[in-house]
Amino acid sequence: MGKETVEVLIEGGKATAAPPLGPALGPTGINIGQVVGDINKKTADFKGMQVPVKVNIDTDTKEYTITIGTPPASALIKQEADLKKGASNPLVEKVGDLKIEQLIKIAKMKEDSLLGKNLKEKIKEILGTCQSMGVYVEGVTAHNAIDLVNSGKFDKEIAEEKTELSAEEQKQFEEERKILQEEIKTRRDEFLAKAKNIIAIMKGKSSSDIKSRLREEKIPDPIIHEVAPDEAEDKSK
């Protein structure tokens, strides 16, 4: 029996018979439209992301299997939280907040590559990534959210494998997200004012000394890079 494998990278839910997929599948003789439809169903949750897809084909029987690679958990978290990037210092920065339903969705997307024996354990793995990114869950730190998962607070949602919010829940979530963005802006302004004050106090000191002091005061790196003097300024003095 003839075996052939086609590997492509496509945007989630947007596979077509156009290149690169169509021309690669054409010589195998399988139903391209059917394969495209199956791929789009399997990748619908990865909208807006590039997804690796592997089509294993039996060229004699025209049977095929589709294997979908998944983006990193961090990419899925950023998509769900509508983030461009995680926190530079997750211990002091809060950049987003997710609902348990979104955690369940991500854990199910990544279930084949996670080590947990059940969905609850897999969710805790995703929470570990949230912790490293400065993303909160249900209004608390990811570390505290793990305690809530362990206590059984979300057992009902996990048992039901609930991955979608109701219209009312979505509305409330959007309102909470607006409040969070305001909090993030306020927090950034506080860090910025503190950094500028430190720089003013340390006027005349080397840029390395100033940056060290800013980091000691837990100023996030992006703000340090934005306001701290650079080495070139030291050399010009």
Residue 45 covered by a domain = yes
Instruction: Look at residue 231 in the predicted model and tell me its pLDDT.
Output: 61
Q: Each residue of 176-225: pLDDT tens digit? A: 878 878 888 888 899 999 999 999 999 888 889 999 999 898 888 888 88
Q: What's the predicted TM-score (pTM) here?
A: 0.66
% of residues, the chain, pLDDT over 70: 97
User: Considering 40, 68, 96, which residue would you say is the last residue of a domain?
Assistant: 68
Residue 234 has pLDDT above 70, yes or no: no
Instruction: Look at residue 237 in the predicted model and tell me its pLDDT.
Output: 47
Same domain for 147 and 122: yes
Q: What is the DSSP letter of 8?
A: E
Question: Could you give the number of structural domains in the chain?
Answer: 3
Residue 210 covered by a domain = yes
Same domain for 151 and 80: yes
Residue 170 covered by a domain = no
Same domain for 156 and 78: yes
Residue 176 covered by a domain = no
92-106, 124-138, 160-174: the lowest-pLDDT one? 160-174
CATH assignment at residue 56: 3.30.1550.10
Instruction: Look at residue 46 in the predicted model and tell me its pLDDT.
Output: 81
Same domain for 160 and 80: yes
101: Cβ contacts below 8 Å, ≥ 6 apart: 157, 162, 163, 164, 165, 169
SS3 97: strand
Residue 232 has pLDDT above 60, yes or no: no
CATH assignment at residue 95: 1.10.10.250
Same domain for 188 and 227: yes
User: Considering 68, 90, 119, which residue would you say is the last residue of a domain?
Assistant: 68
Can you spell out the DSSP letters for 140-189?
Answer: B-HHHHHHHHHHTTTHHHHHHT-----HHHHHHHHHHHHHHHHHHHHHHH
Among positive and negative, which fits the CA dihedral 158, 160, 166, 169? negative
Same domain for 99 and 42: no
Same domain for 231 and 151: no
List the domain range (segments joined by +) for residue 17.
3-68
Residue 235 has pLDDT above 60, yes or no: no
User: Considering 132, 164, 196, which residue would you say is the last residue of a domain?
Assistant: 164
Residue 236 has pLDDT above 60, yes or no: no
